Amino acid sequence: MENTARQATRLEAIHGRYDPWLLAASAALACVGVIMVGSASLGVANTHEVDPFYFLTRHLMFLAIGLGLAFWLMRTELKTIEQHNQWLLLVCVVLLVAVFIPGIGRQVNGAKRWINLAVIGFQAVEAVKLLYIVWLASYLKRFSEDISATWGAMLKPIGVAVVLVGLLLMQPDFGSSSLLLAITAGMLVLGGVNMPRMFGPVLIGLPVLAVIAIAEPYRVIRLTSFMNPWSDPFGTGYQLTNALMAVGRGEWTGVGLGASVQKLQYLPEAHTDFIMAVIAEEFGFAGVCAVVGLYALLAGRALWTGLKCVEMRRHFSGYVAFGIALWMSLQSFVSIGVNLGLLPTKGLTLPMISYGGSSILMSCAALGVLLRVSYELDRAQRQVARLRGEAAGSAPATASPAPAAAAAGAARGTSRLRDRVEPSLGRTA
């Protein structure tokens, strides 16, 4: 017992390291965001008759708060977060309902998506994305065997997603609704759902989404203007045509930082939804490739981290990493696709780059959780290496009386210790 206690103490003294690739990609995206918000918001500030660096100052303020939130989450044990998973789902519903309560919710441009926090308006769906991913990761961990064997276990998270999407469509927010459904489907697939069973909800859901998309006239206009924006360049195609002119003007290497013309009151939302077009104009094809490469590195490394967690039976951590990777990759794909004219216009920001307090805060929080996943994964790997090293070192001393029996006992002891370090977080018997 005393040896076991000493061994446990030695294991607890082992610390992990944050993944350097995730840290580098996150820091690089944050730096790009600061530079581009400073550049792209100059024309917007002039339009609003405020200080030229008004939006940059607020962006830096939100980024500083977001980094504080990220550092706090980086030092928080994931098991502590997991213990509150049921409350997180309740908070999601409360946040999406709060936007409709007079005095609490705030309407902007005809959409009820913001909660009035006196100092700022907080977009509820940004917090819902992260909270929902954490809840779904916990659910997949607890029902990992059932999710691939029964209809009920698979349909429950889909039903929860439908409820949340219903509240989002009432705001209305079709872009975030589609993103949330895509994250749900992706996490279910990565969580081991029975693929033939998934075809049913998908075949039903896609036509329903198509009907919802064409039910509102403004969405139909977006679709038709996307197909040929030059048919009405000063009306329905105004945003996209100006974005495409910015992209084309950038050519291979761009016109230089700060030299964009389209951001000067020509391109709407140049510092938020269409900031990628400004990047393309000022840094050209090379700049676009660099930004895409950073998101690819972030998402790829997050997926790799999640895979390693699942291999070590740290299923909750792995599914959280999968969910954040899907969120960042899908949202950046849609935002970049809209700016390049590959997808219809959607109001989705570019994570960590676009101006927007809610987006910056929750993107930082998500990356803080992701870095915590990488820290605990590295710590577990080091603990397992220590156990295996100790088991290998003690094998010769116990091998002489009865080699076979001693080896079997050592293997059982190592297995029990390894299970303590690598708990079976998701497989129910």
Residue 281 pLDDT > 80:
yes
Q: How far is CA 413 from CA 110, 407, 409, in A?
A: 64, 10, 6
Residue 268 pLDDT > 80:
yes
State the alpha helices, DSSP H only, in 344-402: 357-399
Mean pLDDT of 18-27: 95
Q: In terms of Cα–Cα distance, which of 59, 79, 147, 103 is closest to 320? A: 79
Mean pLDDT of 197-223: 79
Residue 357 pLDDT > 50:
yes
Q: What's the pLDDT tens digit per position in 23-56?
A: 999 999 999 999 999 999 988 888 877 888 899 9
Residue 2 pLDDT > 80:
no
Residue 370 pLDDT > 90:
yes
Mean pLDDT of 221-225: 76
Amino acid (one-letter) located at 174:
F
Q: Would you kindly state where each structural domain of the chain is located, as residue ranges? A: 15-371
Mean pLDDT of 197-220: 80
Residue 409 pLDDT > 50:
no
Mean pLDDT of the chain: 84
Residue 218 pLDDT > 80:
no
Mean pLDDT of 95-103: 89
Q: What's the pLDDT tens digit per position in 372-401?
A: 999 999 998 888 888 887 777 766 544 444
- What pLDDT score was predicted for residue 270? 87
Calpha distance 6→411 (Å, rounded): 19
Calpha distance 42→54 (Å, rounded): 9
Amino acid (one-letter) located at 65:
I
- What pLDDT score was predicted for residue 427? 43
Per-residue confidence band for 306, with pLDDT thresholds at 50, 70 and 90: very high
Window from 72-76, 85-89, 364-368 with minimum mean pLDDT = 85-89
Residue 410 pLDDT > 50:
no
- What pLDDT score was predicted for residue 212? 80
- What pLDDT score was predicted for residue 400? 45
Residue 61 pLDDT > 90:
yes
Residue 422 pLDDT > 70:
no
Residue 310 pLDDT > 50:
yes
Does residue 139 contact residue 156 with C-beta atoms inside 8 Å? yes
Q: What would the two tokens of residue 384 be?
A: 């397992």
- What pLDDT score was predicted for residue 180? 93
- What pLDDT score was predicted for residue 426? 39
- What pLDDT score was predicted for residue 6? 61
- What pLDDT score was predicted for residue 5? 58
Calpha distance 145→338 (Å, rounded): 39
> What are the φ and ψ backbone dihedral angles of 20, each rounded to 5 degrees?
-65, -30
Does residue 215 contact residue 248 with C-beta atoms inside 8 Å? no
Q: How far is CA 420 from CA 53, 175, 385, 416, 425, in A?
A: 53, 43, 13, 6, 11
Calculate the CA dihedral of residues 155, 158, 163, 166 and round it to 10 degrees.
Answer: -130
Per-residue confidence band for 1, with pLDDT thresholds at 50, 70 and 90: low
- Length of the chain in residues, anyone? 429
- What pLDDT score was predicted for residue 423? 41
Calpha distance 21→246 (Å, rounded): 31
Q: What percent of the chain has pLDDT over 90?
A: 46
- What pLDDT score was predicted for residue 376? 93
Calpha distance 5→286 (Å, rounded): 56
Calpha distance 220→302 (Å, rounded): 36
Mean pLDDT of 199-204: 82
Identify which has the larger pLDDT, 400 or 98: 98
